[in-house]
Amino acid sequence: MTPYRGHRPRTRGFTLIELLVVIGIIAVLASMLLPAMFAVSQSAKVANADALIKRISVALDVYFKTYAYYPPDYIPVNANIINFQGTKTGSPPGYAKISIPTPAYPPETLYYYLCHRFLSNQHPMLSLRSGSEAMDINENGLPEVVDPWGRPYLYNRPQFPACLVNEYNIGGNPFHNPETYDLYSTGADGQTGDDELPPISGPTFSLFCSRAMNDANDGNKEDDICNWKK
């Protein structure tokens, strides 16, 4: 006797039209959600940039209280920099000095004087996360303090001391905070002021920093994050 075998119900697949409709719906939803997600991402970066500016400001204030002046915003090549971790020698006793092989621009001097081991090996005035808040963009061995977009923070301090104005200041006196310092990020578009800045990279690093602080409009674009707007 032949055993009874039931027939399996035939399953109906999706037609090409149905698949295209589903794909279209997904595309429409994505086009609606992606701008909102991008806006949230940018808002988070702005908040992080603002928070780091405040942390840098606290460190700069600590530096000022310690040394009675703000750190330089530019160090020329082969300049003699005090090694505060060294031993005082000579008469009168003084710290040994070291030289740097390349010029240091504002975001590098911020790192050097607030984070570098020569200033404070065990207790830096500012601690940064390497790769996100500190990066060596131009690969000269001295990292820069960078914003969430991977671009260097810009810093300009009052001219001091008078005998070293041309050596240790890149932009003259600050335009917005003449008694303290200007500190700002170029924001999402990487532009500030009237001068067109190049996309930041190792070869364009010095040009980016120099152009970014050339007139009183620098830091005044709508998306710039600045210490004088707080």
pLDDT at position 6 over 60: no
pLDDT at position 51 over 80: yes
**Strand arrangement, sheet containing 182-185:** 154-156, 182-185, 225-226
Short-list 171, 161, 175, 169, CA closest to 228: 175
Domain boundaries, the chain: 49-229
User: Residue 97: beta bridge partners?
Assistant: 82
Short-list 116, 109, 63, CA closest to 85: 116
Cα–Cα distance measured from residue 115 to residue 118, given in angstroms and rounded to the nearest whole number? 9
Write out pLDDT tens, residues 8-19: 566 566 687 878
pTM metric for this prediction: 0.77
Burial of 148 per CB tally in 10 Å (0-12, 13-18, 19+): buried
Write out pLDDT tens, residues 68-126: 888 888 888 877 777 666 677 777 777 777 777 788 899 999 998 898 766 655 568 89
Phi, psi of 52 (to 5 degrees): -70, -35
